Structure 1
Amino acid sequence: MYYFSVVGDELKFLNNSDIRIRVLVDLLNGPLKIRDINKKSLLSYSSISSNVHKLCDEGYVEKIHNSFQLTNLGLIYITILLDFRDVISTITDNSDFWLDHDISSLSIDDLNKLSSLEGSELIRCNSMDIYKTHKEFKRLFKNSRNLKVIFPYLHPEYPKLIRRLILKGIKVELIVSRDILDGFIRDIGKDVVKKGIYDGNFSIKYLSHDIKIALAISNEFITVGLFKLDGTYDQNRLLLSNKKKAISWGLTIFDSYDDNALPLILD
């Protein structure tokens, strides 16, 4: 309870005043005089002055000559608060996606960095377009120059997409569960798989356990698909982002799966 009391007191001091938050955000870019903050924010000079001095008293801001700057404490707190804001925004914008799906495939560290997905677009199928997610997936694949993909299930179209990319010389790294590995190799074509591996633009690995996430990552985008709580993969919703921090988040997840996956050994 002591931990929550301390955290609560700190958050209360900062969050109870929009002016204090605004001052800390403005100071992220470097030292400012009160009149500079006044010009940027259009807040009253007296309100800014009063809150800047309160921030100084609490150790978030310090005065250097005639300017004010963030202390290390202030920098840490405002960075955490902005990250927390992005996490809340990410969850709120697509609350049903996170509420209705199995997120056991994501580690605590992955969830801690969920703010990386802020601003993501949720692609949904609807009565007018029941294949919307699938068509978006195909479009992204066709325009990719490189791909890292985790497939938890065997869709009849996806091996064909992979086959085309391999034959075009596009670099593809694929991870699947063991129970669909043979199906992927068969549908891609064993000769194409061998060629891709030999040419160095294709690799396929597998995991012995079930995979509960669909992930596709290129230099330009990341897509995330999850399983519903009833254990079936949700083909009707797909999270999409083209932001670098989201792509980096996805690459970390892919690498963790890749580290535990076994390489394909062909006869």
Structure 2
Amino acid sequence: MKQQLVNLLFFSDKRKNLLLLLAEGPLNIDKILDLLQIPRISLLPHIKKLKEEGLIVQNGAVYRLSIIGDILVTKARPLLDAASTFEDNNYFWSHRKLDSIPFHLLRRIGELKGSQLVEPGLTHGFDLFPETINHFTGSSKVMLLFSYFHPQIPSFSLELAKKDVKMQLIFSRDSFDRFSGDFRDTGEEILAKKNASIFVHAGIPLEIPSLIAISETAVLLGFFNQKGRFEGQYLLSFEPRALAWGRELFKYYLDRSEKVCSMNFPDSSPHNQKAPDDL
């Protein structure tokens, strides 16, 4: 690739945003100006450059990517999305243990682009993902993974189970031991519900995310910091790409977990049981 084409793709936000916009399909100039929220006189020089290099094609007032432009944007987009993901919440990502994310998903981290950083306020500092919990209590299907223990997890999980929410719940071994030791009756109530399943991941807690919570419309992700502590910060997204990414991450750990048949696990739990179908 010519250095000039690389410059066209990466060294101007206006050109980059225009190319990414046209990757979604042809648009007329008025719609482009409206979506990019920039004046015509500011955009026209960039359109001229992209046309000269053969990256976009004009047909009247309508612009589209050329075949070359489509190839370059398709190749560049994962990198641009990944950079945007890290830039949006730079401090959060730079201080997290990312080795809990399998490599094939880490390569697609850009699918979390646009995620919101959720930090509990002082009045809700001890609540279980406050201000977002309604996205899960109102859903008909929920996936949950906890590798830390929070005293509200048992009651929250039982509430979902009683609402006939189809729930898959994964614990790290340590968090399950705490759950089964202090909240055994609650656990047995959950297991008695046909719509709820509990699993235990056999690995070291720090090898998995601190939290994965996925409903039909939202994904909430938490990761330990570099020192192995969970700071109560979450990434929240409602984007379809992020939801699909989160479901893959959950399934990765579900496939490596064992189903719990009673709160006496592992003594009375058969090994290698198949997990129920994905949500």
Spell out, residue by residue over 1:53-98, the C-alpha distance to the aligned partner (whole angstroms, 9 max, x if none): 4222xxx456899987534331122234444333222212211110
Contact 2:14–2:43 (Cα < 8 Å) also in 1: no
Is the Cα contact below 8 Å between 2:146 and 2:175 reproduced in 1?
A: no
Following the alignment from structure 1 to structure 2, what is the Cα–Cα distance between the partners of residues 157 and 45?
52
Q: Structure 1 residues 27 and 175 mapped into 2: Cα distance closer, same or farther (>3 Å)?
A: closer
1:258 aligns with 2:254: yes
Q: Which residue of 1 aligns with 2:275?
A: none
1:165 aligned counterpart, secondary structure: helix
Q: What corresponds to 2:273 in structure 1?
A: none
Cα distance in 1 between the residues matched to 2:103 and 2:160 = 34
The one-letter code of the counterpart of 2:224 is F
* Preserved contact between residue 217 and residue 238 of structure 2 (Cα < 8 Å): yes
Q: Give CA-to-partner distance per residue, 1:27-60, whole Å, 9 cap, x none.
A: 435567xxx548855248984674244222xxx4
Aligned to 1:143: 138
- 1:109 is displaced (CA, Å) by 2.4
Aligned length: 252
Q: How do 1:122-137 and structure 2 match up within 5 A?
A: 122-127=117-122, 129-131=124-126, 134-136=129-131
Contact 1:147 1:217 (8 Å CA) reproduced: yes
Q: TM-score w.r.t. structure 1 length?
A: 0.77
RMSD, aligned α-carbons:
3.3
Change (3 A) 1:43 1:125: same
CA shift for structure 1 position 124? 1.3
| SS of corresponding position for 1:227 | coil
The answer to whether 1:54 aligns with 2:52 is yes
Task: Name the structure where helix makes up a greater proportion of residues.
Answer: 1
Deviations 1:96-146 (A, max 9, x none): 110112111112322222222222221113445534664235444433322
Measure the CA separation in 2 of the matches of 1:163 and 1:120. 28
Instruction: State the one-letter code of the partner of 1:247.
Output: L
Q: Which runs of 5+ in 2 are unaligned?
A: 34-39, 263-267, 269-279
Structure 1, unmatched stretches of 5+, are: 1-5
Which letter maps to 2:197? S
| 8 Å Cα contact 2:120-2:130 kept in structure 1 | no
- Supply the AA of the counterpart residue of 1:207: H
Match of residue 36 from structure 2: none
Distance (Å, rounded) in 2 between the aligned partners of 1:195 and 1:123: 33
Q: Which amino acid aligns with 1:54?
A: E
Rg bigger for which structure? Answer: 1
| Per-residue Cα deviation, 1:161-216 (whole angstroms, up to 9, x for no partner) | 111211221111011122332433452635313312xx2x1111112112331100
Which residue of the partner structure matches residue 238 of structure 1? Answer: 234
Is the contact between residue 200 and residue 257 of structure 2 (CA under 8 Å) also seen in structure 1? yes
Match of 2:196 in 1: 202
Deviation, 1:8, is 5.4
Counterpart Cα distance in 2 of 1:78 and 1:43: 24
Q: Give the aligned residue type for 1:101.
A: R
Which of residues 204, 225, 228 in structure 2 aligns to 1:228?
225
Structure 2 contact 191–198 (Cα < 8 Å) conserved: no
Q: Given the alignment, which residue of 92, 95, 107 partners 2:90? A: 95
Identical amino acids, percent of aligned pairs = 26
Whole-Å separation in 1 of the counterparts to 2:97 and 2:5: 33
